Amino acid sequence: MSLSKSLVVASLLLAAGAQAQTVGTGTLVVVPAYGEVTRANDEATLMLAVEEQDKDKNAAASRVNAKMKQGTDIVKGADATAKLKTYGYYTYPVYPEDNPQRPLAANVKRVPTAWRVGQYLEVKTTNLGSLQKTAAAAQKVLQINGVQFGLSPALTKTLDDERIAATYRNLTERVASIARAMGKQPADAIVDTVDFEGSGNYAEGAAAPSMMKMARSPAPAQDMAEPSFEPGETTLNMRLVGKVKFK
């Protein structure tokens, strides 16, 4: 191999992140490859919540229970395909603000002035066409605490085949480029090993929605304007490392 051709090969291997070494009468090249697929999000997770405050703990809890039941029924009626899950029921005391001019004595027990009670409702649906109407209906009783969009498990499974194909196709394209730079034919390359395990996380997971402290639940609205949501899209990535032998 001439000096100039050797420099071309070395430059190509460096650019591709590949490593080459001589094995017997051939050459072993380690080639990284990448692939990705992008699709519009087809699933939404709507986070709803209710919170009440009252001097009477039981009264606050009773209103939360009633509103959560009412809100759950509204969501079920608006979107029969949605999957619902309640969680995060909490009750904690509300204390008066401390007066720095007259601090409490060490032996004086603080007495709560009220109780704050709340609960969360997770709504997961692929019915994005009616999501805004569903959210608006729920807002008459509950509060929107957040909304996230992503790919449904069914679509993610389908895209996995495309992601693997795209990544392997990138490997073959890189191997062909390296072969030409070495003055060989792509047919002279034999893929010896393909490692799909050394690439870490193949896709970024969605961050869990935060449970933010909320203001007291507003009175039910008669005419609630629909919120605006844009589902966006998600890109799934994959990386593999292939060991290729050249004759």
Model confidence at 55: pLDDT above 90:
yes
Domain check: are 123 and 161 in the same one? no
**What is the pLDDT at residue 220?**
45
Domain check: are 92 and 103 in the same one? yes
pLDDT digits (tens, 9 = 90+) for 127-151: 999 999 999 999 999 999 999 999 9
Distance between CA 203 and CA 212 in Å, rounded?
Answer: 26
CATH code where residue 101 lies: 3.30.70.2970
178 compared with 102, residue with greater pLDDT? 178
pLDDT digits (tens, 9 = 90+) for 176-192: 888 888 888 888 888 88
Distance between CA 196 and CA 164 in Å, rounded?
Answer: 9
Q: 142, 67 in Cβ contact below 8 A?
A: yes
Q: Which domain holds residue 86?
A: 40-150
**Helix, strand or coil for residue 163?**
helix
In this prediction the pTM is 0.67
pLDDT digits (tens, 9 = 90+) for 17-54: 555 555 445 678 888 889 999 999 999 999 999 999 99
Q: 240, 171 in Cβ contact below 8 A?
A: yes
Domain check: are 127 and 44 in the same one? yes
